Amino acid sequence: MKNRIGLILGITLVLLWCLLPVAWIISLSFKSQQSITNGNPGFLPSEGTFAGWSNYSDVLADDQFRRAILNSLGISLIATTLSVIIATLAAYAVARLEFKGKKFVLTTALVIAMFPVVSLVGPLFDMWRTFGIYDTWIGLIIPYMSFTLPLAIWTLSAFFREIPWEMEQAAQVDGATSWQAFRKVIVPLAAPGVFTAAILTFFFAWNDFVFGISLTSTEQARPIPAALSFFVGPDPFSRPASLLAAGAVVATVPIIVIVLLFQRKIVAGLTSGAVKG
């Protein structure tokens, strides 16, 4: 009984710690700007300070915000698609083939994934301006892929190692080529890993702020996290906190929906290969 009570209390504390900032932002998004300026301390909007859905309608009506959403969707989807395709082929080679330097490849990929993002901003800024891809979608897609590919390769390698060789050999005995066996047998069996790699890649690209604010200068390619920092409203000396909160909630909705719908596949992909049995 005591263990059960302790478990419930522990879960409650963790949920409060994690969800309190989210609940506070949602509360701000429903308050009027005047109540925030006057310092309304309440968690819930009081009478006369409730702005309703007007903050959300104002944010969605803003051209800058809509353009940033489009940029984030396009850049994230392209980076995710390319990363998953390349990582699937690379992970299969790492898991199935024997070649010199395989451990070096995996180690290098892990080192790249842990490399500080801030240290690359300066060199990339100069390179992208020289190459003419500064403030473009491709100028963000390349850095995103550089950091998501290693994680995707490690995740997919674990799945490919779990698939028995005999299934691929059986397909080849039945007349399938190596490519057909890979495409029609191996990839479908590794679908949970492929799906997990795609979700993690999308999360990184969608939530990135450092590259988004450093490698763009206009609304042409600026993603939503960076665009929110430029959303100052009509008065630059009084930032519209309620509108910013509404924009943050809207920008978070796709991530929340993906996690709620596919949380089991995410956990399965991350834990695959962790236990050998």
The reply to whether 11 and 121 lie within a common domain is: no
Q: What is the pLDDT of residues 52-80, one digit of tens each?
A: 678 888 888 888 888 999 999 999 999 99
pLDDT band for position 137 (cuts 50, 70, 90): very high
Confidence (pTM): 0.81
pLDDT band at 232 (very low <50, low <70, confident <90, very high): low
Per-residue pLDDT, averaged over 175-191, amounts to: 80
Does the pLDDT at position 275 exceed 50?
Answer: no
Q: Is the pLDDT of residue 274 over 70?
A: no
Taking the C-alpha atoms of 94, 98, 99 and 102 in order, what is their torsion angle to the nearest 10 degrees?
40
Cβ atoms of residues 31 and 40 within 8 Å:
yes
Do residues 63 and 48 share a domain? Answer: no
Under the banding of pLDDT at 50, 70 and 90, the label for residue 246 is: confident
Both 145 and 257 in a single domain?
yes
Task: Give the ranges where the chain is alpha helix by DSSP (H).
Answer: 2-29, 33-37, 54-60, 63-96, 102-114, 118-131, 137-162, 165-173, 178-181, 187-189, 191-207, 210-214, 224-229, 241-271
The rounded percent of the chain whose pLDDT value lies above 70 is 84
Q: Do residue 13 and residue 122 come from a single domain?
A: no
Asked if residue 268 has pLDDT above 80, the reply is: no
Residues 136 and 201 in one domain: yes
Domain boundary among 35, 52, 69: 52
CATH number at residue 248: 1.10.3720.10
- Mean pLDDT for 229-245 is 71
Question: What does the pLDDT read at residue 138?
Answer: 94
First to last CA, the chain: 33
Query: Domain range for residue 47?
Result: 1-52
- Residue 172: pLDDT band (50, 70, 90) is confident
Confidence of residue 235 (pLDDT cuts 50, 70, 90): low
Domain membership of residue 46 (yes or no) is yes
| 212 and 239 both lie in a single domain | yes
User: 151 and 195 share a domain?
Assistant: yes
106: Cα within 13 Å, side-chain hemisphere: 14
- Report whether pLDDT(251) > 80: yes
Regarding whether 41 and 81 lie in a shared domain, the answer is no
> How confident is the model over 202-227, as pLDDT tens digits?
888 898 899 999 999 888 899 999 98
* Whole-angstrom distance, CA of residue 255 vs CA of residue 249: 10
79 and 216 share a domain? Answer: yes
Arithmetic mean of pLDDT over the chain: 80
Q: What is the mean pLDDT of residues 163-173?
A: 79
Note whether residue 104 is domain-resident.
yes
Q: What's the average model confidence in pLDDT over 159-179?
A: 79
pLDDT at 141: 93
* Whether residue 48 is found in the same domain as residue 63: no
Residue 238 lies in a domain: yes
Same domain, 114 and 247: yes
* Sign of torsion over alpha carbons 81, 83, 89, 92: negative
Query: Is 277 a domain residue?
Result: no
Is the same domain home to 264 and 150?
Answer: yes
- Write down which residue in 36, 52, 68 finishes a domain: 52
Residue 276: inside a domain: no
- Considering its fold, how many domains does the chain have in total? 2
The tokens for 16 are: 């409060």
